[in-house]
Homo-oligomer: A and B are copies of this chain.
Amino acid sequence: MTELRLRAIADLPEVRPGDDLGRLLAPRVPAGEGVLVVAQKIVSKAEGRIVQLSQVEPSPKAEELAGKTEKDPRLVEVILGETVRIVRAVPGVLICETRHGLICANAGVDQSNAADDDTALLLPADPDASARRLRRALGPSRAVIVSDTFGRPWREGLVDVAIGVAGLAPLQDQRGTRDRRGRLLQVTVMAVADQLAAAAGILMQKESGRPAVWIEGVQPGGSGKLRDLLRDPARDLFR
């Protein structure tokens, strides 16, 4: 593998709740092997993961947390419904661990890409299952990554990461250092699914909206799931 080619999927219509996203994407994906990276927002829209804030009644806990984080209490109520643990809550910032095990701002609940101010978009209920459904529409020689845009500790700016995978091992051993007797001393495990999501994110940017990117030059194969990418809490030094 010495060359990669990434192409934004063109002419995808506006995705609406109930759309069969696989059927919309499949005819637009080039022939051959590759990996399709699909932005969470269109997956969530197709799956109807939408809440109207005007219909939400915030709980006292949501009201309190909304005060602390300076957020809309109804939005915080929706976020809490997706959250198993609050990681940090300060003015302007609410970082949560989601039911999926993801640690991200607002439990992945997004108002910015929604149709209007009243609408909040939730992460897919099971992003691996979403990826598998899309892969069934594309065929077994293709892998699918559902991606989202996350902040990170220590570094400024957002990057895209994988939140669901199908047809691809998300972690791959890339190098081994051997001692003089040929014993393996060190294995470097790369988060290939995250690197692919980040690469696709370069083309996904901008309001204009290119929510899916086709990557050729990387071999699909192996299997795995989002949980492979999530550090075991017992091994995580930054919870």
Contact = CB atoms under 8 A, between A and B. Distances in A.
Interface in A181-239: 185-186, 188-192, 194-196, 198-199, 201-203, 205-207, 210, 217-218, 228-231, 236-239
Interface string A130-168: 000000000000000000010011111111110000000
Contacts of A55: none
Interface stretch (A56-64, A73-81, A171-179): A171-179
Residue of A155, A206, A239 with highest tally of chain B CB at under 10 A: A155
A4 B6 contact: yes
A31 interface: no
A229 B238 CA distance: 20
A117 interface: yes
Nearest to A114: B177
A224 to B, nearest CB: 11
A205 to B, nearest CB: 4
A90 interface: yes
B156 A112 contact: no
A154 B191 contact: no
Interface residues of A, number: 66
Contacts of A186: 112
A211 to B, nearest CB: 12
Contacts of A230: 154-156
Contact of A198 (B10, B194, B210): B194
A131 B220 CA distance: 33
A49 interface: no
A175 B88 contact: no
A3 interface: yes
A5 B8 contact: no
Interface in A64-104: 88, 90, 93, 95, 103
B2 A210 contact: yes
A82 to B, nearest CB: 16
A231 B156 contact: yes
